[in-house]
Structure formats: C-alpha cells, structure tokens
Amino acid sequence: MSATPPLADRMRPTRLTEVVGQAHLVGEQGLLRAALDRDRLPSLLLWGPPGCGKTTLARILAHESGAVFLALSAVLSGIKDLRAAIERAKLARGRVLLFVDEIHRWNKAQQDALLPHVESGTVALIGATTENPSFSIIAPLRSRAEVVRLLPLDVSEIEALLARALATPDQGLGHRQVTVAPPVLTRIAELGGGDARRALGLLERLVETTDPGEALTEDAARESLARRDILYDRAGDEHFNVASALIKSMRGSDPDAALYWLARMLEGGEDVVFIARRLMIFASEDIGNADPRALSLAASASHAVQVIGMPEGRIVLGQAVTYLATAPKSNAAYVGIRRALAEVSQSGPLPVPLHLRNASTRLMKSEGYGEGYLYPHDHPDRVVSQQYLPEGVRQSRYYEPGPFGHEKTIAERMAWWARKRRGD
C-alpha cells in the first residue's frame, strides 16, 4: 500500500490562478502570466527560500504551456541522468521543460553539460535554487536563463492556504471536519516563516492529532507549537545574511543587535568554529590596533569554545561578541595591507635597497649589501633617518592610524618619530 502524500503535495496548485503569493510573477502584469499569454516558454532560474512555490510554478508553466515536464534533482542526479533526460527530450513531441531542483548543487562541469541543450532550445530550463545565482550558477547559464526572485509568503497568504486546506474535503483536511481557532491558524502561519510547505505540515500534524469533528483550540495547539524551528540555512543565503548582520552590528557598536544575531546563529545550529573564525577576522579588520587586545580575546574565545563545547560555549561567544561590539573601531590595518598589496601588484617586485639587504657572505659585502645600515638601538631615542621603502615608492604611506583607542597613541608616536627623523 502506497503512503499518502504530504498535505503540501496534495494541495499543490495546478493553475496559475490558484497560486497564492508571488503577485509580481503570476498577476495580470506578472512575468509568468505574460509569458503564457504570449505562448512563450522561457528558461528561468527561480531563486527563493524553501516553500515559496518554485516547484509548483515550474509544473504549472509546463502544464499551461502544453510542454512535456521532465524533472531532475541536482542532489540525486548527475551528468548520466542529465543525458538520459536530454535523450527523452529529443524524442518528445513539442516543447520540453526541464526542471532541475536545487540546481546550485551541480558543479561547473555538470552545469556546463546542460548549457548546450539550453542554447539549442532542446529544453526550456527551469532551475530552482535557494542560493544566490550570482555565486552558484555559471555565468553562461545565467546569461541564457532569466533570474526570477521569489519572495517568502507573508502570514496572510499562508493563512489563506491553510484555510483552503481545511475547507478542501478530498485532497485537503476538510473530511476531518476539524475547526481551527483563528489565533491558532495565525500562529501556524507565523511559524511557517514564509514557507508554505512547513506551515501546511504543521497544520496536518495538529489536525491529525485532533479527533474528527472537534475544535483545535489554542490550549491544544500550544504544546505542539511551543518551539519554533528557527529559519537558518547553514549552507544557504540565510547563513550568509545572518552572519553579515552579526558582523555589521558589531561594526556599528550595537552589542544588543550583535547578541541577537549571535543567538540566531546558535539556535539555527551554526558551527561554533565558523562563528569564532568570523570574530577573529572582525577583531583585526574592524578594531585592529585601536584595541590590540581584541584579537587576543577573539582567539582565546575560539580556543575556549572548542575546549568547552556547547551549550556553555555560548557564554564565551557572548562575552567575545559584546567586547568586540563595544571596542573602539579602526580599519586602518585592513586598509593598510590592501594598499600595500595594490602597490605590489602595480609596481611589481622592486629591488630591496642595498643597505637593508642581509650581508651574510664576503661576496654580498663586496656587492654593498648592508652598507650604510643604521642600527636604531645605537642611536638616541632609537630613531634614525633611514629609508626603508624601495626606490619608486619612497613617499608612499599605507598605514594611517585612527584617532580612537590605542591607535591615537600610535598616531602620536608616529608623528614624534617623523619629527625626530627630520631633526626637529
């Protein structure tokens, strides 16, 4: 006996007019509606979060355009499966829509293998991805398939889907005649986090544990819905979005926001090693010598978290994040190394001045290596007027300390050195 498909599959729309949400695509002036009205079947990259309707829209496009629908999962399929699908497409009558779910999982070679068949028109490609196509899809494929952004469904849209499922007797849950209190329906929609599939799954679970003909009350639902699964994709866009929010909150010296985003990462199951690594980078990039202790603290936190483990490691990360968020900020070291790298890239390997070269042999000494070098410790104030940069970049300045924290002291010291070297 075959298993009953999940409610989300049973309630999948089959016509564009049945789709809830994505009005910018399926509405009267929407891109997909316009394509069907013109009898076009374009190649598209549908980019959006889970449960926003990517697979549904691909199926509807094939159905309403009269195209043969072929589907591959990039997680389970490789080039061999792609070749088999292309052979089927060549034997098919009429247009063929090839749907590749999670297309970002295919590597460059696999995407390259697909490219000529999209170029030749053998198939119209609909690729579904939760990843930013700019980073996950090769440029030639992006240039031949329009990138279409899908949005998470809002609460009211998900509520409409849930109400439809409760009222549909055959494919939905209407046969159970369970009444759901409006606040519960709203809560389920909120817990969906923009993902219709997740919300429908929650509703199905709750209704199936309620006796037919009974009411699903707030009290009955509360225990089951006590803990929300935090929206956080460790390998996808949300991973980078939340990590970016953490860094920018610390850079903006907002410890409360930084703690919030740290909590989001921890609740989402983020690897604490990744978090600690980002904190060490931040300590150098955004604080630097304004507070030289920041890097030591971040490195210590990284070591401590790996030794202690979770859940206690969250305390260490909380301490590190609040310290970094409230430390004086400077990106002078970061800017300095970027300037120096740009100089090296532009100027090439300029010769080391002779007086700075290591004179470890007689031949080197005879060539003038080390001649004229001034040893600072032999001079008053340990400061000498000596050129350390190569000819051609003698006047270049890469590091400019800022006016905050310890860098203010560094700037004053550098200015004093400059006066001494001038003989002031």
Q: What is the dihedral of CA 128, 139, 270, 149, to 10 degrees?
A: -40
Return the exposure string of 385-405: e unless at least 16 CB atoms fall within 10 Å of the residue's CB, then b: eeeeebeeeeeeebbebbeeb
Handedness of CA 170, 176, 181, 185 (dihedral sign): negative
For residue 211, the tally of other CB atoms under 10 A from its CB is: 9
What DSSP letter does each residue of 146-177 carry, written as one string? EEEEPPPPPHHHHHHHHHHHHH-SSSSSGGG-
- Quick one: CA dihedral 376, 382, 383, 385, positive or negative? negative
| Residue 350 clears pLDDT 90, i.e. is over it | no
Integer Cα distance of 369 and 362 in angstroms: 10
Q: Cα–Cα distance between 386 and 408 in angstroms, integer?
A: 24
Where do the CATH 1.20.272.10 domains begin and end in the chain? 237-326
Report d(CA 338, CA 283) in Å as an integer. 16
- Domain 237-326 sits in CATH at 1.20.272.10
Q: Please report, for residues 47, 75, 140, the alpha-carbon distance to residue 150 in angstroms, rounded to integers and kept in the order given.
A: 6, 21, 22
CATH class belonging to 155-222: mainly alpha
Would you say residue 115 has pLDDT above 50?
Answer: yes
- 2, pLDDT greater than 60: no
3-state SS, residue 216: strand
Judged against a pLDDT cut of 90, whether residue 287 lies above it is answered with yes
Q: Are strands 96-101 and 179-180 parallel, antiparallel or unpaired?
A: unpaired
pLDDT digits (tens, 9 = 90+) for 373-387: 888 888 888 888 888
Res 363 pLDDT > 50: yes
Q: What fold characterizes domain 352-422?
A: post-AAA+ oligomerization domain-like (1.10.3710)
Q: Are 208 and 202 in contact (CB under 8 A)?
A: no
What is the pLDDT confidence band of residue 172, given thresholds at 50, 70 and 90?
confident
pLDDT digit string, tens, across residues 36-94: 888 888 899 999 888 888 999 999 999 999 999 999 999 888 899 999 999 999 998 88
The pLDDT value given to residue 3: 62
Residues of the chain with CATH 3.40.50.300: 22-149
Non-local (6+) Cβ contacts of 128 within 8 A are 46, 54, 55, 58, 99, 100, 101, 102, 103
Instruction: Concatenate the DSSP letters of all residues of 366-381 into one string.
Output: HTTTTTT---GGGSGG
Residue 252 backbone phi and psi in degrees, to 5: -85, 5
Domain with CATH 1.10.8.60 in the chain: 155-222
Task: Please give the Cα distance from 70 to 145 (Å, whole number).
Answer: 17
- Grade residue 242 by pLDDT with cuts at 50, 70 and 90: confident
pTM: 0.58
What's the pLDDT at 367? 82
The pair of structure tokens assigned to 235 is 């390998």
> Distance of alpha carbon 233 from its chain centroid, rounded?
8
Domain covering 22-149 in this structure, CATH number: 3.40.50.300
The residue type found at 373 is: Y
In this structure, is the dihedral angle defined by the CA atoms of residues 312, 315, 318 and 319, taken in order, positive or negative?
negative
Mean pLDDT of 159-176: 88
pLDDT higher for 1 or 339?
Answer: 339
Backbone angles phi, psi at 390, to 5 degrees: -65, 160
Tell me, what DSSP letter sits at residue 16? G
